[in-house]
Amino acid sequence: DADSVEPPILAKAHAILASKCNFPPTQLDALAAVTAQLQQFADGGHPAAAVAHGADDLGAVFAHVTEAEAAEPTPALLRRLEGTYVEAQRPLAFDETGMEGRLGYEHYYHQNIADNPQVGTPKAKMKRLALELRKLAEEGSLPVSAESAIYVMRDEARVDVLKVLISGPADALRPEQGETPYGLGLFEFHVFVPQDYPNVSPLVNLQTTGDGLVRFNPNLYSDGKVCLSLLGTWHGEGWMPPTAGNSGSTILQVLVSIQSIIMVPKPYFNEPGYAEEEGTPAGEQRSREYNDNLRAATLRHAVRDMLRRPPAGFEAIVRSHFRLLRPLLERQLKRWVAEAQNDS
């Protein structure tokens, strides 16, 4: 819609298409002409002629953009989106916002927060948190890329109250090997750091559950429970308190472990007793069916619902995440639909 596109935005789009996208010169000229016409309208020229003619030309340019994106080889598309995504999103990876509302903290662990006022917090906890959060705030400390990212938001008043968005890992170049059923979706987690930290692990709960209806993984329950050895809720090596010779486990390790150990390409086999089925025809078929259901849930709750109702404080991150990755998400969706039809 030409009426809703401002000349400065079109001018910026022209610069990007010219410098980074190898866009056809004729289409660039058409976009420049439309921009000039709309600028004339903005300056008090002849709006009817400018908008009527501009709308047709602008529609043709946008149609060509869509066609060009669809035809662009995936490796080239990924390279282009990676640079744009990292440049836009990395500065947003760590931030703070007010999480306390009129009736208390809008947080899964609101009761823990109320029961543990900041006054009297042990010095060991505050010192450790200050160290970890200072590192997380350094640009580049949190992983941010087009195919996987982690965003951390701390409460502006309390450093022990956090909210996190984890993007589901994708693998556009090797979807048959590395793609997960969570690809490009955004999953919200609430984190509270207890008083005995760092001698004990943080508390973590998944909020993206379709209002408690979806179990996204054998390790991610529909009530939000996260089963992970670092949290003491799963078998394996647990939380390591810091010692004189060891820096100990960290909040970042927990978040990266959720993304890399839980959000895997074949989560069906995370279920105890099912791992032995991996590689068998029956087991692989059940895994594909399990993934088909998770893919649908990801699109419904970690994409659609996330766009409709982004978590407070994360609005800009959510909007830009999906806007920047739209071409990848469209390709992934087409692939998922085709594979689901083959499995049915």
Per-residue 3-state assignment (H helix, E strand, C coil) for 182-215: CECCEEEEEEECCCCCCCCCCEEEECCCCCCCCC
- Tell me what the mean pLDDT of segment 120-140 comes to: 96
- pLDDT above 90 coverage of the chain, percent: 70
Taking the C-alpha atoms of residue 125 and residue 118, their distance in angstroms, rounded to an integer, is 11
112-115: long-range contacts (C-beta < 8 A, 24 or more apart)?
112/192, 112/194, 112/203, 113/158, 113/161, 113/192
| Residue 97 or 42, more confident | 97
| Residue 245 or 115, more confident | 115
- pLDDT above 70 coverage of the chain, percent: 81
Q: Could you say which DSSP state residue 329 is in?
A: H
β 148-155/94-97 pair status: parallel
Looking at the DSSP assignment, which residues form a beta bridge with residue 97?
155
Task: Examine the pLDDT at 9 and tell me if it is beyond 80.
Answer: no
Taking the C-alpha atoms of residue 230 and residue 52, their distance in angstroms, rounded to an integer, is 61
Q: How confident is the model at residue 1 (pLDDT cuts 50, 70, 90)?
A: very low
pLDDT for the residue 177: 79
pLDDT for the residue 146: 96
pLDDT for the residue 261: 96
pLDDT for the residue 184: 97
Q: Could you say which DSSP state residue 223 is in?
A: T
- Tell me what the mean pLDDT of segment 166-184 comes to: 90
Task: Examine the pLDDT at 222 and tell me if it is beyond 50.
Answer: yes
- Tell me what the mean pLDDT of segment 126-152 comes to: 97
- Tell me what the mean pLDDT of segment 61-81 comes to: 72
Rounded to two decimals, the pTM is 0.82
**Number of Cα atoms under 13 Å in the Cβ half of residue 329:** 19
Q: Quick one: tokens of 228?
A: 């992970």
| Residue 55 or 140, more confident | 140
Q: Domain limits of the chain?
A: 2-71, 93-343
- Tell me what the mean pLDDT of segment 194-205 comes to: 98
pLDDT in tens, 255-303: 999 999 999 999 999 998 899 999 999 999 999 999 999 999 999 999 9
- Tell me what the mean pLDDT of segment 127-136 comes to: 97
Backbone Cα Rg of the chain = 23
pLDDT for the residue 2: 44
pLDDT for the residue 27: 64
Task: Examine the pLDDT at 17 and tell me if it is beyond 80.
Answer: no
DSSP-derived 3-state class of residue 100: strand
Among candidate residues 35, 44, 30, the one with its CA nearest the CA of residue 7: 35
Superfamily of domain 93-343: Ubiquitin Conjugating Enzyme (3.10.110.10)
CB 81 within 8 A of CB 146: yes
Residues 6+ apart with CB under 8 A from 284: 278
DSSP-derived 3-state class of residue 79: helix
Measured in degrees and rounded to the nearest 5, phi and psi for residue 225 equal -60, 135
pLDDT in tens, 99-117: 999 889 999 999 999 999 9
Q: How confident is the model at residue 4 (pLDDT cuts 50, 70, 90)?
A: very low
Does 21 qualify as catalytic in the annotation?
A: no
Mean pLDDT of the chain: 88
pLDDT for the residue 51: 47
Task: Examine the pLDDT at 57 and tell me if it is beyond 60.
Answer: no
What are the start-end ranges of the H helices in the chain?
7-20, 25-42, 47-71, 74-89, 110-115, 123-137, 175-178, 251-257, 281-297, 305-308, 315-324, 326-343
Catalytic residue among 88, 227, 307, 333: 227
pLDDT for the residue 341: 87
DSSP-derived 3-state class of residue 92: helix
